[in-house]
Structure 1
């Protein structure tokens, strides 16, 4: 019932209303968020969407400590579910997209070896996001453990604070990295080629990464926040997510 009210508010929200909405966004969405904002502003040109990027764990901690966010777009369902259960969010988490993992290297790699590639002697350092705070890091560890190679590569792991920092590490500080596939769809990444510099990680090796959105308590009466929430769950937004390598459940 409450979600119906939220969506009704979104429909009633007018472009005549102007103001800021603050959205906490998981780092892996950093590559798609500009396109999402542009499409949203075609409908609501006077609404300024202010974005704070970070790992889902850190953003959740900020929300619990009073950060003035209106919405939270997380990299998995765990954190928004916690916020809802602890009364920081006013809507149950809904999946807006599914994320997937890819390998990335600045050097040509033999991806025909699959995940066993990272056990090779020439791979001395492997970048992953911190599995304690970043869902993509947790999925990376899960993939290695399910492939029964984690113990043999554990000492090679270099931990980044977020999935976006992992991309930087993969290209500059390590031999290869586990990244969000969505990051490969930014213009800056076009020079890196599939099968040469990057390849998808076998999705059977890790649990699908359902990414969830909630409206936070601060914005429970904010029609512009409701409008953005509705937009992120719309067909137009789903098309953008697909264009950036996400899966739509």
Structure 2
């Protein structure tokens, strides 16, 4: 009888060892929808995460936060959402589409007004936009693009929104705003500080008082429908690590 117990114990250990080995070699694919302003830095963050989790592959989808949230609401298979503002994460939270205890802010940004390096845009403050003679001012669509919403907030607080509405050119996301300005299709545009650091073709026109708009915090959360919740949680934890924060700072993010 004693030998039978030993045999059963040995078999149990072998089975457990096999299960643990299977878990350690199991392949995971993590689908991440992220604000377009993160497109450069997230690629590097993804490489760093994958090197620490060699059996995990990240599939990245970028766009305006509002559009991405709408895709999730329509059933897009997403494990993790990285938004450029709180509004769209709040919408998903209200619909119980995220795991609320996983929600965390992982970086910040600032709003900047830019033009091409060779453009002649002598603007000392935002109120001069209404009398500057500029034909076109680019910003993200305030309905779906957080950078555009922040820009509208700034222009409204400055008292010039109604004066320049006819000059505004709406873009599908903040990266398109940057492209408009870089190519000279628009005179100036509202982008993030991280976009200014990224581009060698634009320069800051004038400082924007940060009291004119709310704090730009980037929240992350795991989707309630995710089949890879633990890996998604691990990625959020990684975003808050010193290594990830250093990479984000390198790309112009942070306080």
TM-score normalized with structure 1 length: 0.84
| Number of aligned residues | 230
Give the conservation status (yes or no) of the 8 Å contact 2:182–2:201. no
Q: 1:22 aligns with which of 16, 19, 31?
A: 31
Aligned-residue offset at 1:146 = 1.0
Give the conservation status (yes or no) of the 8 Å contact 1:20–1:50. yes
1:1-249 matches, cutoff 5 A:
16-92=25-101, 93-106=103-116, 107-110=118-121, 113-172=124-183, 173-186=185-198, 189-194=199-204, 198-219=205-226, 222-248=229-255
Aligned-residue offset at 1:25 = 0.2
For 1:112 and 1:243, locate their aligned partners in 2 and report how far apart those are by CA, in whole Å.
29
**Which is greater in Rg?**
2
Structure 1 residues 103, 33: CA separation in 2 closer, same or farther (over 3 Å shift)?
same
Higher relative contact order (CA 8 A, sep 6+): 1
Aligned-residue offset at 1:112 = 5.8
Specify the SS of the correspondent of 2:45. Answer: helix
Aligned-residue offset at 1:220 = 6.1
Aligned-residue offset at 1:108 = 3.2
Specify the SS of the correspondent of 2:154. Answer: helix
Structure 1 residues 60, 42: CA separation in 2 closer, same or farther (over 3 Å shift)?
same
Structure 1 residues 193, 142: CA separation in 2 closer, same or farther (over 3 Å shift)?
closer
TM-score normalized with structure 2 length: 0.82
Q: Which residues of structure 2 form unaligned runs of 5+?
A: 1-22
Aligned-residue offset at 1:201 = 2.4
For 1:206 and 1:217, locate their aligned partners in 2 and report how far apart those are by CA, in whole Å.
31
For 1:117 and 1:42, locate their aligned partners in 2 and report how far apart those are by CA, in whole Å.
49
Q: Which residues of structure 1 form unaligned runs of 5+?
A: 1-13
For 2:122 and 2:138, locate their aligned partners in 1 and report how far apart those are by CA, in whole Å.
17
Aligned-residue offset at 1:242 = 1.7
Specify the SS of the correspondent of 1:41. Answer: helix
For 1:241 and 1:114, locate their aligned partners in 2 and report how far apart those are by CA, in whole Å.
29
Q: Deviations for 1:39-95, whole angstroms, at most 9, x for unmatched residues? A: 212211331111110111111111111100000000111111221221111134321
Specify the SS of the correspondent of 2:125. Answer: helix
Give the conservation status (yes or no) of the 8 Å contact 1:31–1:185. no
Give the conservation status (yes or no) of the 8 Å contact 1:77–1:211. yes
What is the alpha-carbon root mean square deviation over aligned residues? 2.1
